Amino acid sequence: MALYSAAAAVLEGLERGAGGVKALVFQSRFPHVRQLYALVSETLRYSPVLEEVLGGAALLQAEKKLSPQLAKVLVYDLLFGKGLKCGRRWKALARRHRARLEAELARLKVRRKVSRNEELLAPAQAGGPGASQVPRYVRVNTLKTCVDDVIDFFRREGYSYLGKAASVEELRSLSGKKFLLDLHLPELLVFPPQTDFHDNVLYTSGHIILQDKASCLPAFLLSPAAGSHVIDACAAPGNKTGHLAAILKNKGQIFAFDVDTKRLATMSTMLMRAGVTGFQLAQQDFLTVDPGDPKYSKVAYILLDPSCSGSGMVNRVPVAEAAPSAERLQALAGFQRKVLSHGLSFPALQRLVYSTCSLHREENEDVVGAVLQEWGSAFRLVDAFPGWPCRGLAAFPGAESCLRASAADTLTHGFFVAVLERRGDGAAASRSLPVAAGDTPQHGEGTEAGAAPRKRKRKKQRVKE
């Protein structure tokens, strides 16, 4: 199904009450989920404006075969998005009416006494810290380039580099063509909200990855040593897998599992574009993977980011989605406990990072606490990232060692991360947790001393304009 038709079908499903945005997007079977979700979300955000423009231009009266949902999607991309780049006959249809639509938009701005498209939106639609105020995070792919070279490239593109951020407030105040180095993660650049790099040569060539800061935490905190064997248990769409490969410097082996064939195919393409080697993708439910298989006898690190409610995902849609029911949360938590316990059963495991993009305690602290109790003294919860401002809820003793993230407090998607390590003699082989930029290692019960940050050599490969 073409992008615009798929987006129109999701909008129609929303109007029928057939489900929420996320559910309908995944049910669409459109291969590029993020692209479809972004288009639907932004079309919904501009929906009141689009209705006024469509009514003033009388587009639906002129094109009887055009549905209101498809008209909204086409006009959004024509006037507010990236411009119509696909759609064939729909693109030709919209362009026939382009002058009339642009004139109606201009008249609307005059009536509202505004000059920018964003100013047409009501405050709730324009978005607070939970929506359009979350910065654009750019992870430098160190398999292909280095931070200094990417900074130089953007300077040549006319951006102003302000150095390393000293606080979250500095990130919040970014505007225009200015950017910073993140205060916590050493290979993450931060740009103003809504900055779009999807057509930038650095993105299309795999030199940079557009990845939310919170999503970078799991691989960063897992911190596998080069040469290690690692499992990414629920891998698609693959940004975390690529991040793991960069940390490993492509030295070692990554076993990545997911149950969806199309998502794995997309993931394979993305990993190859990013220059990732030494990985094996498998269309397999992680729960069916045998920890006793000799193939996994050297797996010392596991990244586990299982299916969850997604309640922490920044919602750029101006309509509220129904919260998951108690039954739904209970079912998810049951699966999450099962898959976490399964991950801990790999015999050579030294460190496991459990993460979700959920805000619900049932999927986070309650899952970790239950599984730790199940395993007794075999594993401990590590006090990861002591300088991180948001900690776990007090669901059990030591839960504050977990990390939480939110749009309001950390300017990221809502996220939860817990780092579990094996106790005993074998734990000595585990690599120390990384120290975030500006973080100070703390010692104490369940706390690991951080390794000093290492200077990264500049790569020989440079990015050309």
| CA atoms of 276 and 282, how far apart (whole Å) | 16
Q: From 208, 173, 220, select the one nearest 405 (Cα to Cα).
A: 220
278 C-beta neighbours (distance < 10 Å), count: 15
- Do residues 172 and 133 lie in contact, with contact meaning Cβ atoms separated by under 8 Å? yes
Catalytic residue among 146, 357, 390, 402: 357
Q: From 31, 99, 36, select the one nearest 62 (Cα to Cα).
A: 99
| CA atoms of 269 and 273, how far apart (whole Å) | 6
Half-sphere exposure of 215 (CA within 13 A, CB side): 23
Q: From 146, 181, 149, 136, select the one nearest 162 (Cα to Cα).
A: 181
116 C-beta neighbours (distance < 10 Å), count: 8
| CA atoms of 435 and 449, how far apart (whole Å) | 9
What is the number of residues in the chain?
A: 465
SS3 139: strand
**Token code pair at residue 246:** 């960069």
Half-sphere exposure of 401 (CA within 13 A, CB side): 25
SS3 349: coil
Chain-centre distance of CA 408, in angstroms? Answer: 17
357 flagged as catalytic = yes
- Do residues 217 and 433 lie in contact, with contact meaning Cβ atoms separated by under 8 Å? no
Chain-centre distance of CA 7, in angstroms? Answer: 21
- Do residues 63 and 93 lie in contact, with contact meaning Cβ atoms separated by under 8 Å? yes
| CA atoms of 240 and 319, how far apart (whole Å) | 29
Burial of 19 per CB tally in 10 Å (0-12, 13-18, 19+) = middle
Tokens 């938590």 locate to 333
115 C-beta neighbours (distance < 10 Å), count: 8
Q: From 1, 172, 127, select the one nearest 70 (Cα to Cα).
A: 1
At residue 270, what is the residue type? M
> Active-site residues: which are they?
357
